[in-house]
Amino acid sequence: MLPVKTHTKINRNLSGEPVDIKEGFAKVKLKTTDVMSADDKGLVHGGFIFSSADYTAMLAVNHPNVVLAGAEVRFLKPVRAGEEITFIGRTKEREGEKVKVHVEGKRNGEKVFEGTFLCVIPEKHVLEKG
């Protein structure tokens, strides 16, 4: 596994744990918890699913300055607190500083999420001045 070069301070309890990173590839496991529940039935809020998928895309690019510029996603099945989702991200297209990453999230082999993330790698960190 390659070392993590981006999003190094992200809360992995909320956005998932990297289990494999290669050039143009990342695998992240998200163990959902009650904290992520949107209601008393245990429905996991989609924002946590999106966060983990976004994190997976960032790790597939794995550059210190990578940021998200856009995303087209589909939530395919509901997720219940206590379930584990495995996200796989693969870079698909590169054009200059832009990289498209396809991400799928699966629960026990069943696809619950898919999306394409447009990532951008600026010359310097987006919060650096000048």
Give me the CATH code for the 12-120 domain, please: 3.10.129.10
What's the confidence (pLDDT) of residue 98? 98
What's the confidence (pLDDT) of residue 70? 98
pLDDT tens-place values along the chain, 130 residues long: 999 999 999 999 999 999 999 999 999 999 999 999 999 999 999 999 999 999 999 999 999 999 999 999 999 999 999 999 999 999 999 999 999 999 999 999 999 999 999 999 999 999 998 6
What's the confidence (pLDDT) of residue 8? 97
Is residue 58 within 8 Å of residue 6, measured between CB atoms?
yes
Quote the CA–CA distance of 65 and 121 in Å, as a whole number: 6
What's the confidence (pLDDT) of residue 17? 98
Question: Which residues have C-beta within 8 Å of that of residue 57, sequence separation ≥ 6?
Answer: 26, 68, 89, 101, 103, 117, 119
What's the confidence (pLDDT) of residue 65? 98
Residue-wise burial string across 4-25, b where 16 or more C-beta atoms lie within 10 A, e elsewhere: eebbeebebebbbebeebeeeb
What's the confidence (pLDDT) of residue 129? 85
